[in-house]
Each structure stands twice: as C-alpha cells, then as structure tokens.
Structure 1
Amino acid sequence: MRHPRTRLRTLVVAVLAIAITGAVAPAAHAAPSTSDLNKKIQKASDELEDVVESYNKMKISLNKTKADEKKLAASIGPAREALKVAGSQMELLAQSAYKTGKVGAVNVVLEGSNNLMDRMSILEQLSRSRQRDIDTYTATTQNYTERQAALKVTQDKQAAEVKELGDRKKKIQADLKKLYAMRTAAYGRATETGSRYTGNVPSVSGSAGVVVRFAFAQVGKMYEFGADGLSTYDCSGLTSRAWSQAGKSLPHNAAAQYSATKRISRSQLEPGDLVFYRSLGHVALYVGDGKIIDASRAGEPVKHRTIDIMTPYGYGRVT
C-alpha cells in the first residue's frame, strides 16, 4: 500500500502533465471553406487580369517603338546619301575658292559685261547659288545627325520595353501557378473544360452581325494571357479579334479600346458594343438580351453570360 504522500505526489504530477500538454497542444485549424477559396480565386484572377492588360498595353507600346525604329532606320540611308552630295558640293566650292582666290573666277565672268547692273546681278546670283549650297549642306547635316540621335533613343527605348515586357511575363507566369494551385484546392482541377455554344444565335444585321456570330463561335475556347485567337483569348484579345472580322481595328488592351470607342449609355446598348468593367481592367462584347460574351480569366473558357457579372464601368461603340 502506497504512503498518502506518495499518492498525492503522483496525482499532482498527473494533473501538471495534463495541464502542460493542454497548454502546448496546437490549436486545430479549420480547413478553408470553398466559399473562402472562391473569393481568393476571384481576387487573384482580377489582380492577374490587371497585370495581363498592362502586359498588353506594353506590347502595343513596343510594337509602335519597333515601327518607329524601322521608319527611322529606313530614313538614315537617304539622309546619308544627301549628306554625301551636299558634302561633295561644299568640297567643290572650297577647291574653287582655293584655286581662283575670292574674286578670280568672278572676274572672268564680269569682264564680258560693261553694264554695272549686269555685273551686280551676276554677283548676286553667284552669291545666292553658293549660299543655297551652304544652306543645303547645313540642313542635310542637321537632318542626318537628328535622325541618328532619334534612332539611338528609339533603340534604347525598345530595349527597355523588351526587358519590362519580359519581367511582366515572368510575374504573370508566377501568378498563374498560384492561381491554378488555388483552383485545384477548390475544385480538384486547375482549369475548367469549355464547351461550344449550341443555343440560338441572335439575328443581327450589318458589321455587328459578323462580330456577334464570330463571338458565339468562340464560346468554350480557353483563356490565355496575351492571346487573340484563334484557339485561345484574353479579354481584349477576344473583342479585338471579333471586330477585326468586320474590318475594324481595335488595340489589344481594354483601356485603349475604351479610348478608341464612342461613349454610350446602357440604355443605348446594341449587339456588338463593348462593355467595360473594373476600371477598364476587363472588357466584354455585348450580344443582346442582357448578355455578353467574354474571355473571363485564366483557367476558364470564353463564356456567354449575363452583363451583370459585376457592375459595368462603361460602354463603348465601335465606329
């Protein structure tokens, strides 16, 4: 039989052990709900689309810079040849002045005239001719120098844009990995599967009809950042491609498309008009009956759905 003190000591140790174990045991964390994951996916998708549209805007800038460089490079050759011609003319003037002195060659011409007015006229013509040669040389030299400087600036700008474009692309790719991981956690897969539209396509006449029919044919194709078809799209890539079917050129960027279209109200919406969202972070094509077609976000297909996916920012008409 144990001594009472021994039993008391054993009991105290046991109570302390339970207390200590309870104090250091990690608290159980509930797994995030599907609703919470959906909100995170929505937020991450919106942030990603903002980066994608800034990427598209940078591509537009880079393409313009490349066009400017090509134009300047093409103009360098003619400017260089004009400079050679002007330079040769200046050499001839210099040689003439050296060989004949300042007035020697002029005297030969003036000796054939006894009329003072004729002599003054001849001198003025010679002076004008030489001044034109000098002015041409000066202007041609300046033109060539300016074009060379402009070309260098444009080439430097292009190099900076190429680097920034590469950096943005890396960020998009990193963000995509995170987004797909969240989608897998929420739905068991990283991407949805798209299916073609099989319903009735509204009858729309004119250019808008061409655009709307094309848009319905793209439903079910997957989102891809920077893409403008024909197998994948991002939001502004879809709207620009759709309108290109009707011979209208739209820049591949939601904000730029907003600037390129005429402002209209919701009550004025017609099939083929553009609907803008999230402070120009997203754009969709209105197809009538309160519905849009849009390339929504990474991991999802082009969809036909309600215009009220979120509060529209504004509306635009291609003119």
Structure 2
Amino acid sequence: MASQRLKRGVRGVMAATAVAVAAVGITPVSAGAQPATASDALKKYNELGEQATKLNEELLRAEEQQKNNQAELDKAKGEVDTATKAGDAARADEEKFRSRVDRLTEASFEGARFNQLSALLVSDSQQDFLNRMSALGVLAMDNGEALEELSGAVQAADTARDTASEAEKRAQAATDEAKKIADDVRKRKDDLDKQRTEVKAQLNRLTTAERTNLGSVGSVPTNVDYPAGAAGAALQFAMAQIGDMYQYGATGPNVWDCSGLVMKAYASAGVSIPRTSQGQAGVGRAVTRAEAQAGDIVVYNGGMHVGMAVSNSQVVHASTDGVPVKVVPFNNPGSIYAIRRIG
C-alpha cells in the first residue's frame, strides 16, 4: 500500500508538471484579464477550477433530471397505449351489445317481444302471464345493465387515455426543459474550459516547488480508525484512490470527480447513493460538525462539492483539475453544507 501511494504521489507530481509543460505554445484565448504573476496564475487557476467543479455538478444534475424525465415520458406513453387499447376494446364490446339490443328491439315490433298488454292478451293462464312478464323484466334489466356497464367502461377508458395524454405532455415538456438546461450548462462549461486553457498557459511560470505542491498527495494518514460496516468499507475504497487524478464527470477507475468518487466508494460497500453531490447531501441521516466521524459524507459550498471524512479533522476528496485525490483538513474544501451518515 505504501509503495502504491508513493507511486500515485509521483504520478500526481508528474501529471501536474506535464500540464504546465504542455501549456507552452498554447495560444491564449482572450477572455479577460491575465494573471500578472505566478502566484496570481495559481490563484486564478484554482478559482476557475472551483467554478468548473460547480458547473460539472450542475451538468450532472441536469443530465440526471433529463434521464428521470425520459423514464417518466416512457411510462406515460405506455399508459396512453394501454388506455387506448382498453378504450378500443370497450367500444367494440359496446357495438356488439348494441347490435344485440337493436335486434331485440326490432324483434319486439315483430311480435317476438311483448309489452305488458300483449302478454296479457295472449296468455293462456295467470301463471303464463306472470312467466311472460318476468321474462320481459329480466331481458329489459339485462339490456339496461349491459349498456350501463359498457358506457361506464368506455368512459373510464377515455378518462384514462386523456389522463395519460396529459401526463405525456407534462413529461415531454419537462424533458425538453431538462435538455435546454443540459445544453446551457455544456455551453457554460465549454466557455469555462476555454478560460482554464488560458490560465494553464500561465502555469509554466510557476516555480518547481509550486508545481510539485499542486500535484502532490501530501501527507497520507497511516492510522485511520475505519468504522464497521458500509462506512468503513467505503472509506477504505476512497483512501485506496489517493493519487488518482481529477477529471470532470469521471467515476473511475483511476480518474474521478468529487461525487463520482463518493458514489463508487459506497457502491463498493454495497450501498447505492445518488450520482451528484446535491443528491448525496440528502442520503442517510444528518450529523453535526462535532459528531462527524470517519466514513461520513461531507458536502461543501452549497451542495457543489463533496468528500468523505477520514476523521473528525480530515477529509479525503477529489478536488479539481490538476490535483490528485488527497486527504486535507476538514474545512479546507470550503463552507460545510451538510454532513450525512449512512448506517
């Protein structure tokens, strides 16, 4: 494990150095004031990295919303299809029984069916009259009930179809809106990537020490008190990724974004949690800063970033482009938004 961490640490340093060297020769895209010094360049780079992380989470949420709405749309289309078939079947039954009623009605005019007076006139006895009247009543009741039931079935099918059609319209509108959001976020992310490319060109002005610090995993705790259960297993997974590099939208292996790392860490422990940091802010149960312990999910900056507590004083996280997964002080990633405990 020690050699693996060392290898990852070296890899992180080499990656950061490579980023800086590769920046030489890039033609800057004009997008605002340029950093004046190496320190300003690093500060600007970090600021843009934080903005890109926020945009990445917004993009993930929009894509998740779009996926959920598509599932809702598919369900609504299925309901429309089912309701339409039910309505068609009910109307076919109605036609069949209506035809039967029409035949019986026509027969009554031809003498096959009798009214009360004709039944009285042709009856051979009082009992025969009662039998004829009973038969007339049963037939009339059967026809009435059949028509009433069929009418109700058709009305119910039409109502279901109308309801499903409205659901489809709502789902389609929501899907269209989610796509607009995703397209907008992609555009903003593209704009930000152009700005970051411009700043990367300035990274070559950093000192060797600054570049090394940027890509270093720093101090890795060796005496972590892993809790029992899923939280402990998830934390072990996250710690094993120290040295892996950050990449927007990545869920491993070897590259991660912040929420992708936390999601896969808990997945390795058999627990399914949302893909986004905003979604992860709602899992499990809330705990206070004083109660925070190893394995807790720590969400920062209004739900735009997430890490995992290594202890009450440290977190492991995938922070931003050019920086490896590492352990940092608990408050280092930003303003604490939520602390959640699973199990």
Report the TM-score, using the length of structure 2 for normalisation.
0.73
Are 2:275 and 1:242 equivalent residues in the alignment? no
Instruction: Give the match for residue 316 of structure 1.
Output: 340
Deviation digits for residues 268-296 of structure 1 (CA, Å, limit 9, x no counterpart)? 11211111221222111112252111111
Query: What is the rounded CA distance, in whole Å, between the counterparts of 2:311 and 2:129 in structure 1?
Result: 88
- 8 Å CA contact 1:87, 1:137 repeated in 2: yes
Give the match for residue 224 of structure 2.
202
Query: What's the CA shift for 1:160?
Result: 3.4
- Aligned residue for 1:214? 237
Q: What's 2:179 paired with? A: 162
Q: Does 1:150 find its partner at 2:154?
A: no
Counterpart AA for 2:186: K
Percent identical residues = 21
Give the structure 1 partner of residue 277 of structure 2.
254
* Alpha-carbon separation, structure 1, partners of 2:270 and 2:74: 26
Aligned with 1:90 (options 82, 91, 94): 94
Give distance in 2, aligned partners of 1:142 and 1:252. 38
Label 1:98 to 1:120 Cα distance change in 2 as closer, same or farther (>3 A): closer
Q: Does 1:52 align with 2:56?
A: yes
Task: Provide the rounded CA distance (Å) in 2 between the counterparts of 1:158 and 1:306.
Answer: 41
Residues 303, 248 of structure 1: alpha-carbon distance in 2 compared, 3 angstrom cutoff? same
Give the Cα–Cα distance (whole angstroms) in 2 for the partners of residues 184 and 127 of structure 1.
85
Match of 2:151 in 1: 134
1:196/1:244 CA distance change after superposition, 3 Å: farther
**Residue 64 of structure 1 corresponds to which residue in structure 2?**
68
- For 2:193, the equivalent position in structure 1 comes to 176
Larger gyration radius, structure 1 or structure 2: 1
DSSP 3-state at the match of 1:270: coil
- Structure 1 residue 220 displacement after superposition: 1.8
| Distance of 2:129 and 2:325 partners within structure 1 | 89
TM-score, structure 1 normalization = 0.78
Which has the larger displacement, 159-168 or 107-116? 107-116
**Deviation string, structure 1 residues 84-141 (Cα, Å, up to 9, x no partner):** 2101011123323444438839947997872667754653343222211110111112
Contact preservation (8 Å) 1:196, 1:217: no
* In 1, Cα distance between equivalents of 2:308 and 2:302: 16
Q: Aligned-pair distance for 1:187?
A: 4.6
Structure-1 separation of matches of 2:72 and 2:129: 56
3-state SS in 1 of match to 2:130: coil
Is the CA contact 2:281–2:340 (under 8 Å) kept in the aligned structure 1?
yes
Counterpart amino acid of 1:55?
Answer: L
Bigger Cα displacement from structure 2, 114-123 vs 91-100 = 114-123
- Greater mean alpha carbon deviation, residues 285-294 or residues 156-165: 156-165
User: Offset at 1:161?
Assistant: 2.0
Q: Which runs of 5+ in 1 are unaligned?
A: 1-29
Q: Secondary structure at the match of 1:293?
A: strand
Q: Say whether 1:263 aligns with 2:286.
A: yes
Check whether the contact 1:236–1:254 (CA below 8 A) recurs between aligned residues: yes
Answer with 123-132 or 63-72: which moved more.
123-132
Q: CA deviation at 1:215?
A: 0.2
Does residue 104 of the first structure (1) align with residue 102 of the second (2)? no
8 A Cα contact 2:218 2:327, kept in partner? no
- CA distance change for structure 1 residues 113 and 229 in 2, over 3 Å: closer, same or farther? farther
CA-atom RMSD in angstroms = 3.3
Unaligned runs of 5+ in 2: 1-33, 120-127
Higher relative contact order (CA 8 A, sep 6+): 2
